[in-house]
């Protein structure tokens, strides 16, 4: 047995409360392990101090849940009678048996030593306030991300003189095209028909840029987009159509025109806002728009985006009041936190507590591109943008040496990072305003639809970037922010592509197994670039997916009801083709 591959901590996502009565317990082992048992019970079953009576627990078999590249994950759900749990593991590999305790591995011989003190694992108590609760509605939501300036211009009377003619062309960093909130309102019926049930808007508040990530006034809608009444109407009309609204919150940094920063530039250390920022030198040259000299902290060395001190009580109070205003005034459903890994944990804990009092179902989403368990313990974010999911998919499709089993391991890893409550609402995406567009990255419609099938048949909350329904192209920022070509859409040029995405969204809604946490991988014995998996959910119709990432055609299943397919003909799935069918 490979002892170095045995791992468990009675914390984070390896032992946690699923609800007020149940604990999820997981352990990782090497591939050679054949059985794992959990030995558990109440810590006080043998008395307060243990006494002369030796503590012993109930023994129950664990389930092998998923496989990673070098380890297997075993899990079990238990219901401690008194909400407390003391436990250890019994691990078998053929004839060998060892026991894992908090202080390490015990052999049978060590277990039998008289007077030995067992350092068991503990879960002290299921406190209701500590349970990670995520909004139920998010798991059923189909998100659509909109970059407002490029989506639809609905009110040309607001256009400044420098607005460019609306064309779906390559764009530059400073280009402005006049998209606004009224334009989004006008297209709500289009989004509803597409099947969208949630809109994520990149920033809409006052700013001197087209992207609005350098905020000037967090209380005022940017006049280029409309006003506060226009936002209220957008939210109300979206809600009437069953569509939720999530706003983008830029609290890690502000714009250089933000009033407190302007006060600092004018008064220096005498400003009451001086400690709202991380300033290390005074005076400094405010015209130098790089902060590599360390004079103050900013977002990514961008001097025009000074970093806010989210540890400061006044800054925390300011944004608590702001977000409370957003919820009470406009009844928004979610907040996405830009650069969500750089604001302080203290800030997020206090903000969450305040906002969940107003609306327990508000969705708090962090922009974090890496393992985010530290922010997902139930007292900060509900979810994060699942960029590891994007990267795992991308790596398989661009690296033809990777095998389907390696792809399965990488996807399973994404769902091994967090608690099950979080996995249900992971914000799954394939591209965004910060990446190149999906079609541009993959280079073919076949790979494009293969990856969309993955997006819509995995656990979590899928999001498509505006224009994905027509396979809009675009390289990295700013090219990924091209204008939506409404004339071409209305002329029917992209009808076939739009219908394909509609079909995927219908599949997601009609076949609940798509959302299941259970993914059973099916590997082709003669082609290691063919991805296959089955999704099951109790009481629901199961589905199977088969996609061909190889250069050879593979057989489609016989006598199956096809739900969605692309690149298939005469009973074959061609290279870069995909088929979803009832199992």
Give the dihedral of Cα atoms 251, 252, 255, 260; nearest 10 deg. Answer: 70
Name the pairing type of β-strands 244-249 and 334-337: parallel
- Mention every residue, 6+ apart, whose C-beta is less than 8 A from residue 376: 132, 383, 384, 418, 419, 422
CA–CA separation, 145 and 199 (whole Å): 6
Contact of 120 with 87, CB cutoff 8 Å: yes
Nearest to 376 by CA among 342, 398, 348, 335: 348
Sequential DSSP letters for 9-39? -SSTTTEEESSSS-EEEEEEE-TT--EEEEE
CA distances from 457 to 260, 327, 536 (A): 46, 32, 11
Q: Which contiguous run of DSSP H or E holds residue 465?
A: strand 461-465
- Please work out, in degrees rounded to the nearest 5, the angle formed at the alpha carbon of residue 408 by the alpha carbons of 38 and 515: 80
**How far does the chain reach from its first CA to its final CA, in angstroms?**
37
Which residues, in sequence order, are bridge partners of residue 98? 91
Whether 367 is a known active-site residue: answer yes
CA–CA separation, 38 and 99 (whole Å): 10
CA–CA separation, 381 and 383 (whole Å): 5
Catalytic residue among 175, 248, 256, 338: 338
Place of tokens 């999530």: 246
CA–CA separation, 467 and 582 (whole Å): 29
Contact of 121 with 101, CB cutoff 8 Å: yes
Nearest to 519 by CA among 430, 373, 416, 376: 416
Whether 582 is a known active-site residue: answer no
For residue 30, how many other CB atoms are within 10 A of its CB? 16
Q: Cα-flanking dihedrals φ and ψ of residue 189, to 5°?
A: -60, -40
Nearest to 230 by CA among 166, 141, 148, 160: 148
Contact of 296 with 282, CB cutoff 8 Å: no
Contact of 462 with 508, CB cutoff 8 Å: yes
20: tokens are: 């007020």
Cβ burial of 430 (10 Å; 0-12, 13-18, 19+) is buried
CA–CA separation, 513 and 580 (whole Å): 12
Catalytic residue among 24, 26, 367, 382: 367
**Residue ranges in 61-100 assigned as alpha helix (H):** none
DSSP 128: G
DSSP 118: P
User: Which active-site residues does the annotation give?
Assistant: 338, 367
């Amino acid at each position: 047995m490979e002892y170095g591959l045995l791992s468990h901590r009675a914390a984070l996502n390896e032992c946690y409360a699923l609800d007020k009565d149940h604990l999820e317990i997981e352990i990782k082992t090497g591939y050679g392990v054949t059985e794992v048992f959990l030995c558990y019970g109440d810590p006080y079953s043998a008395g307060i101090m243990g006494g002369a009576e030796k503590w012993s627990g109930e023994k129950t078999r664990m389930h092998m849940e998923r496989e990673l590249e070098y380890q297997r994950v075993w899990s079990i759900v238990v219901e401690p009678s008194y909400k407390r749990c003391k436990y250890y593991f019994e691990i078998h590999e053929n004839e060998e048996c060892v026991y894992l305790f908090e202080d390490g591995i015990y052999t049978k011989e060590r277990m039998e030593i008289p007077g030995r003190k067992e350092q068991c694992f503990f879960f002290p108590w299921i406190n209701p306030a500590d349970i990670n609760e995520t909004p139920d509605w998010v798991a059923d939501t189909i998100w659509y991300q909109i970059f407002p300036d490029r989506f639809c211009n609905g009110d040309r009377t607001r256009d400044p003189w420098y607005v460019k003619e609306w064309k779906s062309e390559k764009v530059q960093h400073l280009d402005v095209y006049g998209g606004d909130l009224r334009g989004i309102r006008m297209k709500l019926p289009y989004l509803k028909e597409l099947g969208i049930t949630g809109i994520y808007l990149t920033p809409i508040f006052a700013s001197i840029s087209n992207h609005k990530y350098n905020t000037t006034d967090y209380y005022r809608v940017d006049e280029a987009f409309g006003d506060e009444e226009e936002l209220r109407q957008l939210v109300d009309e979206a809600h009437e159509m069953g569509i939720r609204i999530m706003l983008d919150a830029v609290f890690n940094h502000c714009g250089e025109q933000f009033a407190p920063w302007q006060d600092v530039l004018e008064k220096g250390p005498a400003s009451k806002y001086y400690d709202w920022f991380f300033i290390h030198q005074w005076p400094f040259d405010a015209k130098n728009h790089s902060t590599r000299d360390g004079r103050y902290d900013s977002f990514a060395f961008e001097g025009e985006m000074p970093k806010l001190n989210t540890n400061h009580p006044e800054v925390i109070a300011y944004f608590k009041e702001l977000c409370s205003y957003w919820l009470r005034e406009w009844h928004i459903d979610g907040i996405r936190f830009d650069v969500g890994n750089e604001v302080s944990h203290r800030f997020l804990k206090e903000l969450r507590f305040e906002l969940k009092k107003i609306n327990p179902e508000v969705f708090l989403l962090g922009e974090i591109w890496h393992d985010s368990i530290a922010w997902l313990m139930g007292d900060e974010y509900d979810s994060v943008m699942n960029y590891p999911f994007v990267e795992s998919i991308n790596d398989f499709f661009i690296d033809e040496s990777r095998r389907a089993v390696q792809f399965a391991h990488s996807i399973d890893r994404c769902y091994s990072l967090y608690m099950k409550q979080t996995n249900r609402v992971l914000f799954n995406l394939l591209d965004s305003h910060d990446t190149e567009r999906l079609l541009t990255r993959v280079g073919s419609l076949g790979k494009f639809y293969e990856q969309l099938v993955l997006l819509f048949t995995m656990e979590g909350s899928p999001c498509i970037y505006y224009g994905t329904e027509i396979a809009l192209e675009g390289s990295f920022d700013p090219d990924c922010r091209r204008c939506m070509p409404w004339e071409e859409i209305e002329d029917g040029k992209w009808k076939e592509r739009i219908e394909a995405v509609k079909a995927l969204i219908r599949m997601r809604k009609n076949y609940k197994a798509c959302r299941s946490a259970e993914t059973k991988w099916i590997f082709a014995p003669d082609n290691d670039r063919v991805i296959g998996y089955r999704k099951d959910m109790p009481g629901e119709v199961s589905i199977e997916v088969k996609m061909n990432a190889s250069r050879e055609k593979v057989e489609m299943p016989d006598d199956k009801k096809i739900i969605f397919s692309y690149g298939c003909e005469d009973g074959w799935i061609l290279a870069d083709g995909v088929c979803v069918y009832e199992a």
